[in-house]
């Protein structure tokens, strides 16, 4: 439960932004930043550095792009030793601009990739590493990847300067035995790299699977306030901090920001354990199928949805 190497990584604004097109108010983002600072959290991820060519600004909020100027604006006046992170999709890199690290409020750039795009991820890692940033490679939807292809991708990552390689259960389909296997596999194939764990809560296993990752040596731990995130959401930050026996963490500001902001927000946008996302998790399918179902007139016809998704597997 306590290792000095463990780093807690908050994904509230980035993963939560997938629910509302990253349209969080500055007041909310600032409150989250201040609460996480007071709580002793190690990293906060503000959102994506996305291409405005691919994602027009009229359709999304500021945290889809995470311009340095916007981050500085919302964090101004708050003293913090917490590090700032943004995420970039390796397969959607266009005109994004990265300043040298010493001229940016960002400390870490996380590169999200599929195994088939590992070469693109490595190119991006090299690019931002040379600018002075800490880096991660987050291999998405790992539950769908054949192991030989995954191993080949890990071997390639082992040769690049990436700092952390993440096990990402994008579909919330994995069980503890699989988490153990994957963490050990990543360690074996990427010696000298830190291993991270990012779990989704389709089957109410995000917290348990994160603990399983910790047991086997994952030191970078993703979570979000009140579990906010696409579909079923993520490991709850408040649960994770309560589990970790590190005296530097302070749970009070976390509970206060949940009380003041996340509980009211939950009345406006939907996330958390819901049957359609349980179905996609069990069947190892993308949560977007559940999201689409929840937005339609048949959102509570669970048995019908389950049969449809089973049929899709057979087709």
Architecture of the domain made up of 7-266: Alpha-Beta Barrel (3.20)
189-222 confidence digits (pLDDT tens): 999 999 999 999 999 999 999 999 999 999 999 9
Q: Rounded to an integer, what distance in angstroms lies between the CA atom of residue 101 and that of residue 103?
A: 5
- Integer Cα distance of 159 and 176 in angstroms: 28
Supply the DSSP string of 110-160, one letter for each residue: EEEE-GGGHHHHHHHHHHHHTTT-EEEEEETTGGGS-HHHHHHHHHHHHTS
pLDDT for position 95: 79
For the chain, where do the domains classified as CATH 3.20.20.70 start and end? 7-266
* pLDDT over 80 at 1, yes or no: no
**What pLDDT is stored for residue 94 in this prediction?**
84
Gap between the Cα atoms of 213 and 219, Å rounded = 8
What residues are paired with 165 via a beta bridge?
137, 195
* Reported pTM: 0.96
Predicted confidence (pLDDT) per residue in 126-180, tens digit: 999 999 999 999 999 999 999 999 999 999 999 999 999 999 999 999 999 999 9
How far is residue 110's CA from residue 228's CA, in Å, rounded to a whole number? 19
CB neighbour burial string for 191-219, b if at least 16 within 10 angstroms, e if fewer: eebbbbbbbbbbbebbbbbbbbbbebebb
pLDDT (average), residues 232-253 = 96
Q: How far apart are CA 306 and CA 301, in angstroms?
A: 9
């Amino acid at each position: 439960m306590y290792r000095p190497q463990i780093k807690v990584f908050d994904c509230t604004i980035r993963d939560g932004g997938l629910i509302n097109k990253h349209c969080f108010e500055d007041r909310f983002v600032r409150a989250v930043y201040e609460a996480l600072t007071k709580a002793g959290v190690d990293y906060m991820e503000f959102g994506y550095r996305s291409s405005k060519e691919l994602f027009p600004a009229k359709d999304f909020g500021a945290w889809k792009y995470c311009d340095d100027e916007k981050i500085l604006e919302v964090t101004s006046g708050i003293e913090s030793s917490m590090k700032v992170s943004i995420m970039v999709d390796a397969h959607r890199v266009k005109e994004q601009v990265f300043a040298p690290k010493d001229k940016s409020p960002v400390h870490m750039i996380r590169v999200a990739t599929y195994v088939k795009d590992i070469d693109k991820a490595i190119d991006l890692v090299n690019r931002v590493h040379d600018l002075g940033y800490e880096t991660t490679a987050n291999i998405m939807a790992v539950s769908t990847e054949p192991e030989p292809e995954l191993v080949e991708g890990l071997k390639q990552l082992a040769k690049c300067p990436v700092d952390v390689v993440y096990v990402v259960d994008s579909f919330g389909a994995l069980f503890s035995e699989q988490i153990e296997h994957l963490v050990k596999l990543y360690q074996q194939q990427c010696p000298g790299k830190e291993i991270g764990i990012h779990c989704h809560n389709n089957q109410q296993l995000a917290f348990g699977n994160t603990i399983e990752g910790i047991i086997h040596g994952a030191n970078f731990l993703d979570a979000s306030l009140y579990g906010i995130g696409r579909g079923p959401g993520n490991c709850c930050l408040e649960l994770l901090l309560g589990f970790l026996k590190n005296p530097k963490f302070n749970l009070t500001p976390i509970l206060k920001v949940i009380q003041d902001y996340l509980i009211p927000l939950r009345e406006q946008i939907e996330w958390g354990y819901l049957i359609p996302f349980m179905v996609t998790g069990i069947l190892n399918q993308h949560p977007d199928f559940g999201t689409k179902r929840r937005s339609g007139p048949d959102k509570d016809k669970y048995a019908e949805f389950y049969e449809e998704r089973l049929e899709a597997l057979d087709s």
